[in-house]
Structure formats: C-alpha cells, structure tokens
Amino acid sequence: MSKTAKFVLTLAMLGLCSAPALAHPGHGIPDTLAHGFVHPLGGIDHVLAMISVGVLAFAMGGRAVWALPIAFIAMMTAGGALGASAVNMPALEQSIATSVVVLGIMVVFAARVPLSVGVALAGLFAVFHGVAHGLAGTIDGQLSLQYFAGFLLATGVLLGAGTALGGAFSISTKCHGFQRGAGLAVGLTGLMILVS
C-alpha cells in the first residue's frame, strides 16, 4: 500500500471514529473564553472545514491567502450573531456537512476559482458554522461574549493551521498526492456526517 493510500485510510478512519460536532445547541456550554476556544475543536466537521479553507487559501495564492480567512471569520461572526439571536436555520446540520464535502472536493482538485467565488463560498459556509456556534453560546437567552471570542480565536488558529498545511503541501510535487488524499478524506468524512 502506498504512503498516500495509508494517509487517506488513516484520515478516513479518524473521520469514522470521530464524535459528532458539539458546536450545536443543548450541550450546556459554560460562559468562558477557554470553553469557547475548545468548543469548535470538539466537532470534526468544524475542524475539517476551517482547515480546508486555509489549505484552499494557500492553493489559490495571492490575495486569497488573507481574503478567504478574513471572509470566513467575518461571516462566522455574523452567523454567530444570528445563532445567538435564536435564528435557527433549517437543515443546519446538513448544510454544515455539505460545506465539508464541497471543501474536501475543492482541496482534492486544488481548485483555483476566482477570488470572488472563493470568498463567497468561504463566507456562505462560515455562516452555517457560525449559527451553530452562536446557538450553543447563548445561555438563558444571553450571548456569552467570552465564549463567542473563544470560538472566533479557535477559528483563526484553525484557518492559520490550514494555510500552513497548504504551504507544506506545496513544497514538492510528491506532497500534491497528500493534499489530494487529505481532500478526499475530508470530503468522505463530510459525506458520512451528511448521511448519518
């Protein structure tokens, strides 16, 4: 078995063994910055989406390196405010899972879409993730600003990690196989979440 196949298999198995995202209502989230920071890390769908946006930002290059992460954080903030206002989107879980599938496919092909398309997709997907976090960060009808700041900080860290990973994938043509394998694993994980 090739190294790429082993890598893809490992990522797929991690996806199968992961718990569902805990960035959704009903989990009794305390009002702390630390808990807000850890919260997105508890859901594989959120982690994969944010890292994938960073990988794509690097793959697109130029202004996309900063524009996609900024768009994601800005629209996640807007989505978080919607969620905190108790605006619940229909099919929210399916929309989040679909974002993971689409981002995984884009990573597989190192999609070099126009900057406006990349920013629009990153922003749209961020709204879904933000609403889920906003719903979870509201305690007794009140938004926890510390929790909110924590999940935005974690988002920035994950986007930065994804951008760094995109840079690592670009080092040599051998790494392109790892990027395709990672994108495939992301897409398959999103598909498993979508159908579960």
Picking from 20, 36, 44, the residue whose alpha carbon sits closest to that of residue 138 is 36
pLDDT at 172: 76
pLDDT at 118: 94
Q: Over the stretch 4-57, which tens digit does the pLDDT of each residue have?
A: 444 434 444 444 344 444 444 444 545 788 888 988 888 899 999 999 999 999
Q: Which residues pair with 139 in a beta bridge?
A: 142
pLDDT at 63: 96
d(CA 193, CA 196): 5
Residues of the chain under the 50 pLDDT cut = 4-27, 29
Token pair for 194: 């979508």
Backbone angles phi, psi at 139, to 5 degrees: -115, 120
Q: What is the pTM for the complete model shown?
A: 0.82
Token pair for 94: 């399916």
**SS3 (DSSP) at 145:** helix
pLDDT at 31: 73
Residue 25 is classified by DSSP as S
d(CA 30, CA 79): 20
Question: In 10 A of CB 80, how many CB atoms?
Answer: 28
